[in-house]
Amino acid sequence: MEEQRPGILPGFISRHPIGAAIYFLILFLLVGTLAGAVGILISGNLLTLVVISEGSAGIVGIIIVVRLGWVKRAGYATLGRLRDVPLYILPAGIALLSFSEGIPAFTPETALYFLAVALVIGVSEETYFRGLMLQSLVPLGVFRTVLISAALFALPHLLNALSGAWDPVFTLADSFAAFGIGVAFAAILFRTGTIWPVIGIHALTDFTALLSNGTLLVSTQSTLQIASVAGAGLLALAYGLFLIRPGMKLRLSSTTKPGE
């Protein structure tokens, strides 16, 4: 029987896992940017543009996950085990830190809109960063996969300063926090084998931030606020590394080849 060769993309992922992860990052940014540009013609509302941008990128990402046959491998086919629930408590607690300064009054409609935005972002970004990029990097081993995927997750957060929408100093702290959270999310995926909890915690993080701030714009922050964000990232980083310390049983194999 003639041996079946993998398609172009699976073959590229197998030969160049880091290159494939970078490719998916560029694809995420490119699709999101193009969709956002088109969205400007529909609405000038910043949150609506984010939904259009992230939603479009997410749809493309989900299609790729399905075409690669990674639905089960990337953790979409299982909700996980009840005994893994304690692993989610600390990251969920970090997500609630946005409430430390109180919550402005919102109508139920606004809160539901914020929730919808957060869910779209959570599904879209996790599809790329943990569903495609992390899975491409898996053959490199657990620690390299976790750290590289987290670095790729942090990188787009730096772009917030270029747009002028975020305070530059806060952007640096937030990017470090994103790296720490990326480590924690990747570690949770390795430990549990399911992507749904990290999608939920990601959405919770963005939802609480929107409720607390009331907007995606971030003005100049106090030293305490910046330190709190950086500290949350450091805590998430330490927690993620703790989850994948030597001797831990992992449900996501680091020896599976992409496409299998």
pLDDT for 238 beyond 90: yes
What is the structure's pLDDT at 5?
A: 55
Amino acid present at 242: F
What is the structure's pLDDT at 260?
A: 41
Instruction: Name the more confident of 125 and 216.
Output: 125
Listed range (39-43, 64-68, 211-215) with the worst mean pLDDT:
211-215
- Range 32-39 average pLDDT: 93
pLDDT for 256 beyond 60: no
Give the Cα separation of 20 and 219 in Å (integer).
35
What is the structure's pLDDT at 250?
A: 86
β-pair partners for 218 = 166
Give the Cα separation of 183 and 148 in Å (integer).
9
Instruction: Name the more confident of 161 and 201.
Output: 201
What is the structure's pLDDT at 164?
A: 66
What is the structure's pLDDT at 180?
A: 97
* Torsion sign (Cα): 215, 216, 217, 223: positive
Instruction: Name the more confident of 83 and 256.
Output: 83
pLDDT for 254 beyond 80: no
What is the structure's pLDDT at 1?
A: 38
pLDDT for 241 beyond 50: yes
Listed range (107-111, 195-199, 217-221, 233-237) with the worst mean pLDDT:
217-221
pLDDT for 197 beyond 90: yes
